[in-house]
Amino acid sequence: MPDLGTDYLGLTLPNPIVASSSPLAERVDELRRLEDAGVSAVVLHSLFEEQINLESNDLDSYLSHGTESYQEATSYFPELSTAMGPDTYLEHLAHVKKALRIPVIASLNGASPGGWTRYARRMEDAGADALELNLYFVPTDAGMTSAGVERMYLQLVRDVTGSVRIPVAVKLTPFFSAPVHIATELAALGARGLVLFNRFYQPDLDLENLEVVPTLALSSPWTLRMRLRWVAIMYGHVQADLAVTGGVHSAEDVLKCMMVGAKVAMMTSAILKHGAAHVTQVLDDMARWMDAHEYESVRQMRGSMSHRSVAEPAAFERANYMKVLRSYALKDQRRD
């Protein structure tokens, strides 16, 4: 039996599948099912900055009518469980921690500087094994520069990592102009892990009512490709544990994540589609594949397909762009 064990944020895990943040995390019975199915850790749903800064009764109105404030248009967020305010969230975290044997990672979602970061310490006090800082920000101010966005991120991470003893992972957006640089800077400020990538929920337009409406679509395996590329490039260059989230649906997806250099692969959409038992199937499929290909452990394969390890590193770079387009054109001509 191959060894599926890994480590992430200083936590020793029996396998690399982590249940990422989802509505399932609001129910202890659902989290127990995930634990029984084999997930090695869970990330709770996020406590949003807006839930801390606003009274619960005001939050519904704030989200439903939109905002033109400095913070991104938060009406584009998925619907929040406003019944679970800050104190209730912390109580839930403490309850979950007592109910589960696996590590519990709390999640804090925000972007503006301010006192909301003090909740990182409160999450630690409630028993969180680690904290995922989800920096969900859409810069709409034409006067804000890319350097200004980076400074804001770095300051927030500095504030949070300086306030807690538990490890902190940062969930990044893919829209930085130099992702490896910002990743290196975040690691230098104490981020123990980087989660690639945050999926911004894109709004749609209701043509009949002339309204902007929030939409939520589950990920597909195609979503994984961008994550694989950047983990492969960052592996060996960034002194932080790398995690993939978005597009992880099958054993093959998890194996690809490990080969490019990730410590864990986070799964949500596949669990929502197929139920907790899907995790057990994925783990079984992983073990069978590793046996068939003579891999003794996940650690053995980690980074074997990273940018610095493959025979043709240009496959992850622009140099491969013309090759891909040409191969598609030739294939199209053969059909004719």
Residue 72 has pLDDT above 60, yes or no: no
Mean pLDDT of all residues belonging to the chain? 85
Q: Do residue 294 and residue 316 come from a single domain?
A: no
Q: What mean pLDDT comes out for the span 126-131?
A: 98
Residue numbers of the domain that contains 212: 6-305
Residue pair 95/137 in contact by the 8 Å Cβ criterion: no
Enumerate the β-bridge partners of residue 7: 12
Cβ neighbors of 153 (< 8 A, separation 6 or more) are 135, 137, 170, 182, 186
Task: Give the orientation angle of helix 251-260 with respect to helix 277-292, to 10 degrees.
Answer: 60
Residue 75 has pLDDT above 60, yes or no: no
Higher pLDDT, 185 or 331: 185
pTM of the model: 0.84
Q: Do residue 51 and residue 178 come from a single domain?
A: yes
Residue 140 lies in a domain: yes
Residue 126 lies in a domain: yes
* pLDDT score, position 92: 96
Q: Which of 28-37, 201-210, 236-245, 319-328 has the lowest mean pLDDT?
A: 319-328
pLDDT tens for each residue of 263-301: 999 999 999 999 999 999 999 999 999 999 999 999 999
Residue 1 has pLDDT above 90, yes or no: no
Residue pair 97/106 in contact by the 8 Å Cβ criterion: no
User: For residue 272, how far is the Cα from the chain centroid?
Assistant: 16
Residue 1 lies in a domain: no
* pLDDT score, position 315: 64
* pLDDT score, position 144: 87
Q: Do residue 225 and residue 320 come from a single domain?
A: no
* pLDDT score, position 71: 41
Residue 253 lies in a domain: yes
Q: Which tokens in the block code for residue 170?
A: 């940062």
* pLDDT score, position 201: 67
Q: Do residue 317 and residue 301 come from a single domain?
A: no
Q: Do residue 322 and residue 297 come from a single domain?
A: no
Confidence at 55, pLDDT banded by 50, 70, 90: very low
* pLDDT score, position 276: 97
Q: Name the phi and psi angles at 20, rounded to 5.
A: -80, 175
Residue 223 has pLDDT above 70, yes or no: yes
Residue 210 lies in a domain: yes
Confidence at 70, pLDDT banded by 50, 70, 90: very low
Q: Among residues 134, 108, 112, which one has the least CA distance to residue 200?
A: 134
* pLDDT score, position 138: 77
Residue 142 lies in a domain: yes
Burial 33-62 (b: 16+ CB within 10 A, else e): bbbebbbbbbbbbbbbbbbbbbeeeebeeb
DSSP annotation string for 12-29: EESSSEEE-SSGGGG-HH
* pLDDT score, position 330: 54
* pLDDT score, position 189: 96
* pLDDT score, position 311: 60
Q: Do residue 105 and residue 206 come from a single domain?
A: yes
How many domains would you assign to the chain? 2
Residue 323 has pLDDT above 80, yes or no: no
Q: Among residues 131, 130, 134, 122, which one has the least CA distance to residue 49?
A: 134
Residue pair 228/244 in contact by the 8 Å Cβ criterion: yes
Q: Name the phi and psi angles at 18, rounded to 5.
A: -115, 135
Rounded CA separation 201/249 (Å): 19
Rounded CA separation 30/294 (Å): 35
The percentage of the chain sitting over the pLDDT mark of 70, rounded to a whole number, equals 79
Higher pLDDT, 322 or 96: 96
Residue 80 has pLDDT above 50, yes or no: no
Residue 324 has pLDDT above 80, yes or no: no
Confidence at 49, pLDDT banded by 50, 70, 90: confident
Residue 222 has pLDDT above 90, yes or no: no
- C-alpha distances out from residue 219 to 46, 147, 200, Å: 18, 30, 12
* pLDDT score, position 320: 59
Residue pair 259/16 in contact by the 8 Å Cβ criterion: no
Q: Do residue 262 and residue 243 come from a single domain?
A: yes
Q: Do residue 174 and residue 317 come from a single domain?
A: no
Rounded CA separation 140/313 (Å): 35
pLDDT tens for each residue of 145-187: 989 889 989 999 999 999 999 999 999 988 898 999 999 999 9
Helix or strand run (H / E) with residue 6: strand 6-8
* pLDDT score, position 74: 40
Q: Do residue 266 and residue 335 come from a single domain?
A: no
Strand ranges (E), 192-284: 193-196, 204-206, 211-213, 241-245, 264-267
Rounded CA separation 268/20 (Å): 6
Please count the other Cβ atoms lying within 10 Å of the Cβ belonging to residue 215.
Answer: 10
Residue 200 lies in a domain: yes
CATH code for position 23? 3.20.20.70
Q: Do residue 29 and residue 132 come from a single domain?
A: yes
Q: Do residue 270 and residue 290 come from a single domain?
A: yes
Q: Do residue 318 and residue 299 come from a single domain?
A: no
